[in-house]
Amino acid sequence: MNTATAAAKTMTRTWQSLCIRADLVPFSGVAAWVETTEGPAQVAIFYLPGYDTELYALDHHDPFSSANVIARGIVGDLKGQPVVASPIYKQHFRLEDGQCLEDESVTLRTWKVSFKGDEVWIEA
Amino acid sequence: MSTTSLTTKQSLIIIGNGMVGHHLVEQLVEQGATERYDIVVFGEERHLAYDRVHLSEYFSGRDAASLALSTRGYYTEHGVTLHLHAAVTGIDRERSEVITDQGRHPYNRLVLATGSTPFVPPIPGSDRENCLVYRTLDDLDAIRAAAKNATTGVVVGGGLLGLEAANALRGLDLDTAVVEFAPRLMPMQVDSEGGGLLQEKIEALGVQVLTGRVTQRIENGEASFHRMVFQDEKVLETDLIVFSAGIRPRDELARDCGLEIGERGGVVIDDRCLTSDPAILAVGEVALWNNSIFGLVAPGYQMAKAATGTLLTSSSEPQGGTFHGADMSTKLKLMGVDVGAIGDAHGDRTPGAKMFRYLDEIKQQYRKLVVSSDGRRLVGAMLVGDNSVYDTLLQYYANGLDLPEDPAALILPSSEGTPALGPDALPETAMICSCHNVTKGDIRATLDAGAVDLGTVKDSTRASTGCGGCTALLKSVVDHELEARGVKVDKSICEHFHYTRQELYDIVRVEGIKTFGELIDKHGSPDTHKLGSSSAPMLGCDICKPAVASILASCFNEPITDAAHIPLQDTNDTFMANMQKNGTYSVVPRVPGGEITPDKLVVLGRVAKKYELYTKITGGQRIDLFGARLEDLPAIWGELIEAGFETGHAYGKSLRTVKSCVGSTWCRYGVQDSVGMAIYLENRYKGLRAPHKIKFGVSGCTRECAEAQSKDVGIIATENGWNLYVCGNGGMRPRHAELLATDMDEETMVRTIDRFLMFYVRTADRLQRTSVWRENLEGGLDYIKQVVVDDSLGLGAELDSQMQTVVDNYECEWANAIKDPEKLKRFRTFINDARPDPDIIVTEERGQLRPA
């Protein structure tokens, strides 16, 4: 994808309501459908209550197994960076930017998420 | 290596595929001899080369396959032609041909590795039925067959092999006696004092020992099959006789074709293993070097090495060295009795030798040192009852080290133990493994080349893979050298904890810590990166979180789906099902002991059909239902629980199954109710979380249809109770389980298993099966026995009560989850949409659905 279209798509992202706090599982992930600029996507939402950044959203699709499972991975930190480990082949993905730590060429898409009161909103 | 280049290969024939014959093939392959020779091996036995040193284990559970030293595949892979069950009947030296029943085979070079045969004294009647020998697997089969109709057995010969044979007879439940011609047992290795002590110890094991007896004839017995008549006309009746009165070289072929033979047999060889015909070599127990036959495996291996050099070079000093004779020092454990003999143990070959002797009649230990006339050098030693100083003494002897001022200190008991000879006192040339010729210098070179642990050193030097006698010494040398290199093995489980799993386990128990948060808060590694500017604690990772979850479950057995534990679990534990490659799950309900009612079978079929699940019978005697969608799991389990099923923990590092045969209930041969026992054990230990999965097997008789000896815990019924085997494994690295205790009643057995499992749970590394745990446990099976059976650490009561806690707190995890709507929320595939994942696509194959 060239930078022009990437920029265009980023610009058209809009905030939408996704779910409520009670749908989340602390220190773990859940999956949700989100209508993105690139069409409907399965998104994994991770919730770290009490941390600087409490919410993260990444692709739910695991590029190594081609299964939709990322939300079911174990959340942890490696060298000070929050990560999720794919439950199938155990690669780690940085929650911040989706970068795979084992394979530089692989990155999951990420979205901005935040609480608005008790609701979870995502920019997609 | 040779630089000769030949356009056509020469033919090299090896006669004999015993330990030395096989070692020769390995040496030749390693040195690249297959480029120069077409190698053809003839073995007389049906079996490929096997480990004769551990032959007696054939009666204690090992089979021909596990004793094998190699595989046919190895031979094929290296282009070595192997003919088994193919006896060579003659050698035609004029035409350079070897003759077998199949025809004639031309050779350029020929190696005799025909070994030896047991000597049967020419006593009238020694050819009677049930007069056997102890040398090959076929011999052992014959002994086993004969023992079926026998109650008593006699071994003629009280040497090393004779005592091994006696132990084998004892293992076959025969009343056993040993008849020795000399005035004491093991006359070659021990003196009369040592022999007396050895006799006492052997007799204490219930074996009758008759020394100074010459058998005159064997005739029909009255109460038993045979009657042996001795020189004083005294008699001994027995059903079965095994001759083990020494060995004789198999030199018939060499004799018939006119090679030079020693006066008392053996093919004469020189330092290069060449016989009187330079085209022909001889190695092993058939070879006579400097008028000596070497009846041990290490010298045979050294000959094989020298012969390889001879076959590959034409110089008189072949690479790899020549054969200069070998040290016949030996260290044995016969029927649990240590015997060691080093060098000139009798002191009769060293003029002016002086001796130190120590005898302890209470502990039944005897130690003797033979020193040079000036007291400076050790020329021999003899040990009975305790070999703990053998390695140290051997190093003094083999390396000619200066003895301490008072050599007696080496054999006297002292409050601080015998002054051990540290590895750094050994010279570079010190021979550590004589089977494979590995010196301390070789080990250091391997470490210099990058090896960082014992396993790598073993793999690359093959040290301690022969007779295994040097295992402890090798470990101490490697440890010492690693330490000297400043290698510190970091055993931290991950970056979040500077502790091993065992240490974490102890912390959790001692401090009663019940959550991961509390543990990482109090004991997380202080120097690990913090998460941003946050003062919040570290999260942990996918290594430490499941490991701690398992420890918490082992200690307290709280439901793993409780909120505090959920983020710790692998997906399989979180959803209590096994994730498959397409993101669906498999469901395995527990079927204790593999026993299932027709009604329950119908339910499994009905549920599988309703939720479109692929069904397969597992190796653990239950039924696996594949392809369940995350959102269907609660409904599936609702129906299964309704029908009386419980979770099978197929997803957990925990007890999986207890496989059983049908047992005495139905089987004509069963001696105990193996199914009943399996069900009892499965129900007792279900839900026990451990460092890794645990599998059991229970067989109702020694036919072992449940394959219990390939399990972590294997139980085999006997006429008198149950035999318990532990630490077996199938899978990638199969390992036979080892016998921990015999003929136990049910209560004792359950207590022993409780302790064994808890000891494993407590001390194993994460994801370490019992087999690997056992192999890494210092002290091995003996140590497990001491802790679990003899309660040497005084841990018994504690282990018992820990197990009782786990048993008392058992609850079916699915039953617990299904009644809690909060927990069930987790099973939604999408929190904002009830529809299934459209990317899960299946296709039909053989009447069932599978991932497309």
Give residue-wise pLDDT tens across range B104-156.
Answer: 999 999 999 999 999 998 999 999 999 999 999 999 999 999 999 999 999 99
Please check whether residue A85 is in contact with residue B542, taking contact to mean a CB–CB distance below 8 angstroms: yes
- Residue A71 above 50 pLDDT? yes
Measured CA to CA, the distance from residue B331 to residue B338 in angstroms comes to 7
Give Cβ neighbours of residue A30 (< 8 Å, ≥ 6 apart): A19, A23, A24, A44, A45, A47, A71, B828, B831
Report the relative pairing of strands A55-59 and A39-47 from DSSP bridges.
Answer: antiparallel
**Weakest mean pLDDT among A90-99, B147-156, B536-545:** B536-545
Residue B171: pLDDT band (50, 70, 90) is confident
Of the residues A24, A56, A77, the best mutation for testing chain B's interface (the one with the most B CB atoms within 10 Å of its CB) is: A77
- Residue A91 above 70 pLDDT? yes
Measured CA to CA, the distance from residue B355 to residue B361 in angstroms comes to 19
Q: Do B570 and A83 touch (CB under 8 A)?
A: no
Of the residues B525, B581, B831, B841, the best mutation for testing chain A's interface (the one with the most A CB atoms within 10 Å of its CB) is: B831
Q: Do A73 and B532 touch (CB under 8 A)?
A: no
Residue B219's H or E segment, with its range, is strand B215-220
Residue B534: pLDDT band (50, 70, 90) is low
Beta strands, E only, chain A = 15-20, 28-36, 39-47, 55-59, 61-62, 67-68, 74-78, 81-85, 92-94, 110-116, 119-123
CA atoms within 13 A on the CB side of B16: 27
Measured CA to CA, the distance from residue B140 to residue B260 in angstroms comes to 33
From B28's Cα to the closest Cα of chain A, the distance in A is 43
Residue B616: pLDDT band (50, 70, 90) is very high
| B23-54 exposure pattern, b = at least 16 Cβ within 10 A, e = fewer | bbbbbbbebebbebbbbbbbbbbebbbbbbbe
What is the overall mean pLDDT for chain B?
Answer: 90
pLDDT at B757: 97
Measured CA to CA, the distance from residue B351 to residue B47 in angstroms comes to 47
Please check whether residue B632 is in contact with residue B625, taking contact to mean a CB–CB distance below 8 angstroms: no
For the residues B540-568, what does the mean pLDDT come to?
91
Positive or negative CA dihedral for B256, B260, B264, B267?
negative
Q: Which residue has the tokens 């002016």?
A: B352
Measured CA to CA, the distance from residue B780 to residue B783 in angstroms comes to 5
For the residues A54-63, what does the mean pLDDT come to?
96
List the single residue in A26, A31, A77 with the smallest CB-CB distance to B538.
A77
Please check whether residue B41 is in contact with residue B138, taking contact to mean a CB–CB distance below 8 angstroms: no
pLDDT at B320: 63
Positive or negative CA dihedral for B135, B136, B140, B145?
negative
- Residue B416 above 80 pLDDT? no
For the residues B582-605, what does the mean pLDDT come to?
96
pLDDT at B3: 45
Q: Do A77 and B529 touch (CB under 8 A)?
A: yes
Q: Do A77 and B541 touch (CB under 8 A)?
A: yes
For the residues A22-31, what does the mean pLDDT come to?
94
Give the helix ranges, DSSP H, for B172-239: 192-204
Q: Do B541 and A87 touch (CB under 8 A)?
A: no
Of the residues B525, B542, B767, B839, the best mutation for testing chain A's interface (the one with the most A CB atoms within 10 Å of its CB) is: B542
CATH topology of domain A13-123: Rieske Iron-sulfur Protein (2.102.10)
Question: Sheet containing A74-78: which strands, arranged edge to edge?
Answer: A74-78, A81-85, A92-94
pLDDT at A1: 41
pLDDT at B110: 97
- Residue A8 above 50 pLDDT? no
**CA separation, residue B641 to residues B151, B595, B646, B757 (Å):** 55, 17, 6, 28
From B833's Cα to the closest Cα of chain A, the distance in A is 7
Residue B571's H or E segment, with its range, is helix B571-575
Q: Could you count the other beta carbons within 10 Å of the beta carbon of residue B589?
A: 25
Please check whether residue A58 is in contact with residue B544, taking contact to mean a CB–CB distance below 8 angstroms: no
Q: What tokens does B305 get?
A: 């090495």
Q: Is B667 annotated as a binding residue?
A: yes
- In one-letter notation, the amino acid at residue B434 is S
pLDDT at B286: 97
First to last CA, chain B: 55
State the burial class of residue A86 (Cβ atoms within 10 Å of its Cβ: 0-12, 13-18, 19+): buried
pLDDT at B418: 46
Question: Sheet containing B109-112: which strands, arranged edge to edge?
Answer: B81-83, B37-42, B10-15, B109-112, B280-282
Give domain limits for chain A: 13-123
State the burial class of residue B819 (Cβ atoms within 10 Å of its Cβ: 0-12, 13-18, 19+): exposed
pLDDT at B586: 97
Q: What tokens does B34 get?
A: 């297959």
Residue B530: pLDDT band (50, 70, 90) is low
Measured CA to CA, the distance from residue B177 to residue B230 in angstroms comes to 14
* Cα–Cα nearest to B245, from B153, B178, B200: B178
DSSP per residue, B837-850? -TT--EEEETTEEE
Measured CA to CA, the distance from residue B115 to residue B286 in angstroms comes to 5
- Residue B709 sits at φ, ψ, to 5 deg, of -75, 0
Radius of gyration of chain A, Cα coordinates, nearest whole angstrom: 14
Three-state SS at B471: helix
Question: Sheet containing B623-628: which strands, arranged edge to edge?
Answer: B578-579, B585-587, B623-628, B614-617
Please check whether residue B634 is in contact with residue B818, taking contact to mean a CB–CB distance below 8 angstroms: yes
pLDDT at B4: 47
Closest-CA residue of A relative to B528 is A79
Give the helix ranges, DSSP H, for chain A: 3-12
- Residue A11 above 80 pLDDT? no
Positive or negative CA dihedral for B448, B451, B454, B455?
negative
pLDDT in tens, B10-64: 999 999 999 999 999 999 999 999 999 999 999 999 999 999 888 888 887 788 8
pLDDT at B514: 92
- Residue B158 above 80 pLDDT? yes
Q: Do A25 and B536 touch (CB under 8 A)?
A: no
pLDDT in tens, B626-671: 999 999 999 999 999 999 999 999 999 999 999 999 999 999 999 9
HEC secondary structure over B233-286: CCEEEECEEEECCCEEECCHHHHHCCCCECCCCCEEECCCCECCCCCEEECHHH
Measured CA to CA, the distance from residue B565 to residue B175 in angstroms comes to 59
- Residue B417 above 50 pLDDT? no
**CA separation, residue B805 to residues A41, B411, B512, B799, B810 (Å):** 47, 49, 14, 10, 9
Q: Which residue has the tokens 């019992």?
A: B770
For the residues B828-846, what does the mean pLDDT come to?
92
Q: Is B544 annotated as a binding residue?
A: no
**How many residues does the structure list for chain B?**
852
Domains of chain B: 10-117+249-312 (3.50.50.60), 120-245 (3.50.50.60), 328-420 (3.30.390.30), 422-489 (1.10.10.1100), 655-808 (3.30.413.10)
CA atoms within 13 A on the CB side of B111: 36
**At CB < 8 Å, which residues of chain A contact B?**
18-19, 23, 25-28, 30-33, 42, 45, 48, 50-53, 61, 65, 67-69, 72-83, 85, 87-88, 90, 92
- In one-letter notation, the amino acid at residue B634 is P
Query: In chain A, what residues touch B571 (CB-CB under 8 Å)?
Result: 69, 72-74, 87
pLDDT in tens, B329-379: 888 877 778 899 999 999 888 899 999 999 888 888 999 999 999 888 999
pLDDT in tens, B754-811: 999 999 999 998 888 999 898 878 778 888 998 999 988 888 999 999 999 999 999 9
Q: Do A88 and B579 touch (CB under 8 A)?
A: yes
For the residues B433-457, what does the mean pLDDT come to?
84
pLDDT at A110: 96
Residue B529: pLDDT band (50, 70, 90) is low
For the residues B561-565, what does the mean pLDDT come to?
88
Measured CA to CA, the distance from residue B276 to residue B278 in angstroms comes to 6
Percent of chain B whose predicted confidence (pLDDT) is above 70: 95
Residue B420: pLDDT band (50, 70, 90) is low
Q: Do B541 and A80 touch (CB under 8 A)?
A: no
- Hey, what long-range contacts does B81-85 have (CB within 8 A, 24 or more apart)? B81/B38, B81/B39, B81/B40, B81/B41, B82/B17, B82/B41, B82/B43, B82/B48, B83/B40, B83/B41, B83/B42, B83/B43, B84/B17, B84/B43, B84/B45, B84/B46, B84/B47, B84/B48, B85/B43, B85/B44, B85/B45, B85/B46
Give Cβ neighbours of residue B401 (< 8 Å, ≥ 6 apart): B378, B395, B421, B425, B427
Torsion from C-alpha of B303, B305, B308, B312, nearest 10 degrees: -120
Q: How many CB pairs under 8 A join A and B?
A: 112
pLDDT at B698: 97
Closest-CA residue of A relative to B580 is A88
* Cα–Cα nearest to B721, from B705, B700, B737: B700
Crossing angle of helices B746-763 and B796-808, in 10° steps, is 90
List the single residue in B539, B542, B582 with the smallest CB-CB distance to A82.
B539
pLDDT in tens, B214-239: 999 999 999 999 999 999 889 999 99
Measured CA to CA, the distance from residue B347 to residue A40 in angstroms comes to 91
